[in-house]
Chains A and B, each alone.
Chain A
Amino acid sequence: MKLHEYQSKFLFRDFGIPIPEGVVATTADQVRQIAAELGGVVVIKAQVHVGGRGKAGGVKVAQNPVEARAYAEQILGMDIKGLRVEKVLVDPGADIERELYLAITNDRGAGRPLIMTSMDGGMDIEELNRERPEAITREHIDPILGLQGFQVTYIASAMGMPRALWRQFGSILRGLYRCYVESDAELAEINPLVITGGGDLLAVDGKVIIDDNALFRQPALTAERNASDELESERQAREAGITYIKLDGQIGCMVNGAGLAMTTMDMTKLYGDADGIGPANFLDIGGGATPEQVATALRIILSDSNVKCVLFNIFGGITRCDEVAKGILTAYNEVKPDVPMVIRLQGTNAPAGNRIISAAQIPNIMSAETLTNAAKMAVAAVKEGL
């Protein structure tokens, strides 16, 4: 779960990290009032989960409350890469001497937390990593021991942090590490961490991503989940225990298992790409594939009006294909989809399952034996309908 900038920074503040004394607003009048209370120059920042909001006009510097109000009117309601701006953060303008980078992330290859720092912050870290990887200092942390004092010194020294700031930097780094651990973050990033004209460190922008699998023990953060950031269909699926991700193609895929679900998507693209045909979604129905679950999944897939054909690919291991076939027919009769469906059952009792599908003689339903054929049939069905 991604946190917004303001949520990330307010979380940092809880761990003793200095941030600008900003306030969140949802209307232009609020922005004007906040700017008046803060006094001086303010920065109005769109709170959306996309990169490049500055370039898109989502960040503006205002000299006075009247200007702040005018910018807020532009930014609130603005569409940035498909997301509507509902909130802005109004921060006092910072006196920036230098922009640094500081982040803690899960290094999946090493299986350890990784601290990354640089004296050259402000820019996108991936870009910096491509262009000048030597400008980034990296330090792995023992996940059992946690961040040690000598590592703080090592990092400050290796990155070239001015000695006068070591104490402040150490306090911020320790706070960020505690924040990362206690919030179950997969990323806790301050970019930029700023050296101010007054010689202090200040976290001017922040990004925190929480591990979805740890939300059960993060009730306070879970409560921050912003409903508008999730598609309605994806929310319905999540609540039904189905993993669904909407994509741009025409073939709705219903599969058991994540690896097989990706593979099924790949096959529709392999055989359909030349005609601009591909997967409409990723969907892992999980184990069992009961009639209720199939019906729910089918409704979710069909809520996408781009879908011109539904492709079922179910491997029956412990679940028997004849049971899955009956489940699919029950769900079909309940949902009554008006697009063709291609069904491919493999594994335990697959021939019996396919016989059940064929015997039902539903004109809309085709049965396929191999994944290759199933994908080709689905592509052909979409082409026919176009």
Chain B
Amino acid sequence: MSILIDRSSKVLVQGITGRQGGFHAKLMMEYGTEVVGGVTPGKGGEWFEGKPVFDTMRKAVETTNADVSLVTVPARFAADAMMEAADAGLRLVICLTEHIPVSDMMRVVSYCAQKRTRLIGPNCPGVMTPGQAKVGIIPAMVAAPGSVGVVSKSGTLTYEVGFAMKNAGIGNSTIVGIGGDPVIGTTFVEVLEMFENDPETEKVALLGEIGGNAEIVAAEYIKNAMTKPVAAFIAGRSAPAGKRMGHAGAIVDGGEGSAEEKIQALEAAGARVAANPEEIPGLLS
């Protein structure tokens, strides 16, 4: 089963003729993802690695029956690209782009909700169902098929933990990077709920960080509704308050969003919290 994507997902890449978009579209195809085409306004009619390029999402969806889109366009065009994908009726939109203004994201998230499109990201590494498909930039080598679901705010930390699991003989059902921005399409709780309902997921690893209260809300859900065990790591225990640690959302603001309060809430909810990400495989075996 897995969640969000599998080998039957038909994927369009918005920005496929760009350097990043093209590079990762190729890697996705090599991994086995069914990339059915791409969209770059003004380049409709061209071809990318044997796949058609369209001017608009509407035309691309009509022609290919795609159900998933990957947004790789630069920040100033990304909000428009996400809304175009939602307008074209896609089930799932995954946005990698970093540095999108929060005011744009508030409109995009609201619009996607109206259109009933699930948005993952922005500022995320994407989604990977090992052995089946990946939509985004998660390196193929970090995970093998298995039964541990991963949900994370971060990119390389996810690779680190995924790779450590793989080396310990633990595989993953699906890996979901939800992104490190203050306003994102899909939060921890929604992904936890999907994993809870996914028969192929037996355990879950949650990788959070300072800033906001998404991990606290996740802890509530774990406590009240989750039957599957959760191992967690929260990054940023050594981060000073009031400083943005790389991710736009990673800031302890007005005493809110510290690593300590998140760790406490997760532990109180019954999750096993690692002090060191290298302990995560041990907590899951």
Contact = CB atoms under 8 A, between A and B. Distances in A.
B235 A259 contact: yes
Interface in A198-222: 211-214, 216-217
Interface stretch (A7-15, A72-80, A84-92, A277-285): A277-285
A108 B110 contact: no
Contacts of B75: 213, 216
Contact of B276 (A214, A348, A371): A371
Interface string A176-201: 00000100101000000000000000
B105 A258 contact: no
Contacts of B235: 259-260, 262-263, 266
Given A259-B247, A282-B239, A211 B102 contact: yes
Nearest to A244: B246
Interface centre among B103, B182, B247, B277 (most CB of A within 10 A): B103
A262 to B, nearest CB: 4
B183 A257 contact: no
- Of the four ranges (under 10, 10 to 19, 20 to 34, 35 or more), the interface on chain A belongs to 35 or more
A126 interface: yes
B238 A279 contact: yes
B107 A257 contact: no
Contacts of A370: 278
Contact of A347 (B109, B159, B249): B159
B207 to A, nearest CB: 7
Interface stretch (B33-41, B44-52, B61-69, B150-158): B150-158
Interface stretch (A39-47, A109-117, A290-298): A109-117
Interface centre among A243, A245, A256, A259 (most CB of B within 10 A): A259
A106 B102 contact: yes
Given A109-B214, A282-B245, A258 B110 contact: no
Contacts of B212: 108-109
A259 B207 contact: yes
- Of the four ranges (under 10, 10 to 19, 20 to 34, 35 or more), the interface on chain B belongs to 35 or more
Contacts of A265: 236, 238-239
B246 A318 contact: no
Interface of B: 27, 75-76, 99-107, 109-111, 137-139, 141-142, 152-160, 163, 180, 182-183, 207, 209-210, 212-214, 217, 233, 235-240, 243-250, 254-255, 259, 275-278
Interface of A: 106, 108-109, 111-113, 126, 142-144, 181, 184, 186, 211-214, 216-217, 243, 245, 247, 255-263, 265-270, 278-279, 282, 284, 315, 317-318, 346-348, 370-372
**8 closest cross-chain pairs (CB), A and B:** A259-B154, A258-B246, A257-B156, A317-B139, A259-B157, A214-B101, A143-B106, A108-B182
18 contacts: A111-B106, A113-B106, A126-B254, A142-B110, A213-B248, A214-B102, A257-B154, A257-B246, A258-B154, A259-B246, A260-B157, A263-B157, A263-B233, A317-B137, A317-B142, A318-B137, A371-B277, A372-B276
